[in-house]
Amino acid sequence: MAEVGLLPFARVALQVATLVLPPYRTRFSKHQFTQPQLLAVLCLMRFEDWTFREAEVRLREHQELRAVLQLPAVPDYTTLYRFLRRLEDDTVDRGLQETVRRLRRRRSRPVSAAIDGTGLSDTSVSTFFHRRLEQHAHGPRPRRPWLKWLIVVDVQQQILLAQRARQARGCDTRALPGLLDVAARSAPIGVVLADAEFDSEANHQHIRQRLGAKSIIPARRRGVPNGAIRNQMFRAFPKKPYRQRSKIESIFSAVKRKLSSRAPGRSLTTQIRQALLLGLAYNLYRLRHHTALRGCQQSPTLARRLRSADSKGLGRGRLQLKTGKTRCLAATAHSKELRFIRDANRVPCPPSGCKLRTSERRRGSAPSRHAFCKELSGLGLGGGGRQKN
């Protein structure tokens, strides 16, 4: 299978979908596919940017993917389309809040939230192709407007807290209070960062009085602004904390490069639902990496190796290697289990490409490489490679 990480994503998507949807819509359903299974398939479609027919073909080809999703058969593309039309926006919002709860876990500190919007195309046709058609037609051609996708993100974790989609035409100033209220249900907000598009005295007051957070929104450059808070932003704007707002642009770039840059659909309702599923797929993508990292650090094989290291007199501090830009031999041999030792600052690793710290050579406190290789070989962490005499 060419897709990397598809099975972990499908597993996490099915777990989240099971918590937000009942198995069947009514007791008169066909009971062939459950609603969580179909929602997980829709998230896979946004993750891989598949069409409905491509999703049917890929599920038919990939037996392991069907086993992870617990599908007794391959759903037809019309089944997926009808389920998308029946799917409610509140269900997608509940799934997004569940991913935020899993990603944050026990964190209770207020987050720095940033809000912004971007455009999503309704088709995969490039703008260059549209321009060429207009050149040959000697005039502009009718074109459907793009979809505007508004999101609220946590700039530290770079995850979505709330989202909304609408038609491209119009101002987004009035959408800020509703989005922040939804985001505040998932995480307490300490600072709100936004660009000048959301500048208004009402938005500042809503953030500071209703949410109890600090608002940093630059005033529009049209003379001296009205309002006490807008005037304060105009006179003394806090530039240093406002720099964190640029991370939301990085999230837009990651979504459009890794997942999709379009919200396909013939009707506006379908396009909006596809955009909301795109945000859910991005959080599931982050949750997949978060779960894989936790599983790596808590693997039973790693625990056995650490117990063996303690029993042979080689403490965990000795397993922390200093490599610089070169990966150590133990991390190369067991990268899935000992990934956490790459960034430590204690004993140098055995390969000839790594060097001892100058302070350790002067003190004579660093162990010899030959003895260190023997200890690693005894633990089964690496062979030692060729050493310089």
Helix (H/G/I), strand (E/B), else coil: 154: strand
CA separation for the pair 384, 372 (Å, rounded): 8
Task: Report which of 111, 119, 108 is spatially closest to residue 167, judged by C-alpha positions.
Answer: 119
Q: Which residue has the higher pLDDT, 347 or 165?
A: 165
Beta bridge partners of 119: 148
Q: Highest mean pLDDT range out of 78-92, 307-321, 342-356?
A: 78-92
- The pLDDT value recorded for residue 139 is 72
**Main-chain dihedrals φ then ψ at residue 74, nearest 5 degrees:** -90, 120
Over residues 110-136, the pLDDT tens digits come to 999 999 999 998 876 666 776 777 777
Q: What is the mean pLDDT of residues 71-81?
A: 95
pLDDT in tens, 227-266: 889 988 888 899 999 999 999 999 999 999 999 999 998 8
Check residues 87 and 350 and name the one with the higher pLDDT.
Answer: 87
| Residue with the two structure tokens 């999709």 | 260
Q: Which of 166, 169, 241, 233 is nearest to 203 (CA)?
A: 233
The CA-based dihedral angle spanning residues 42, 48, 52, 54, taken in that order and rounded to the nearest 10 degrees: -140
CA 214 to chain centre: 25
Query: Is residue 167 scored above 50 in pLDDT?
Result: yes
Mean pLDDT of the chain: 79
List pLDDT tens digits, range 192-218.
999 999 999 999 999 999 999 999 999
Rounded to the nearest 5°, which phi and psi values hold at 154?
-90, 115
Residues forming a β-bridge with 153: 114, 160
Residue type at 3 in one-letter notation: E
CA quadruple 381, 386, 388, 389: dihedral sign: positive
Q: Tell me: the pLDDT tens digits for 171-198?
A: 889 999 999 999 999 999 999 999 999 9
Position with higher pLDDT, 305 vs 86: 86
Question: Measured between alpha carbons, how far is 311 from 238 in angstroms, rounded to an integer?
Answer: 55
DSSP β-bridge partners for residue 214: 191
Q: Is the pLDDT at 348 greater than 80, yes or no?
A: no
Could you give phi then psi for residue 240, rounded to 5 degrees?
A: -65, -50
- The Cα 330–Cα 244 span in angstroms is 37
Task: Measure the CA–CA gap between 40 and 225, rounded to whole angstroms.
Answer: 48
Rounded to whole angstroms, how far apart are CA atoms 92 and 95?
5
Task: Give the span between the Cα atoms of 164 and 275, in whole angstroms.
Answer: 8
- How many CA atoms lie less than 13 Å away from 285 in the CB half-sphere? 22
Query: Predicted confidence band at 7 (pLDDT cuts at 50, 70, 90)?
Result: very high
Is residue 165 classed as helix, strand or coil in its secondary structure? strand
| Banded pLDDT at 335 (limits 50, 70, 90) | very low
* Residues contacting 136, CB < 8 A, separation 6+: none
**Exposed, middle or buried, 279 (CB in 10 Å: 0-12/13-18/19+)?**
buried
Q: Which residues contact 176 (CB under 8 A, 6 or more apart)?
A: 115, 194, 198, 203, 206
Q: What percent of the chain stands above pLDDT 70? A: 70
Element (H, E) at 231: helix 228-235
Q: For the stretch 140-153, what's the b/e string if a residue is b when 16 or more beta carbons lie within 10 angstroms of its beta carbon?
A: eeeeeebbbbbbbb
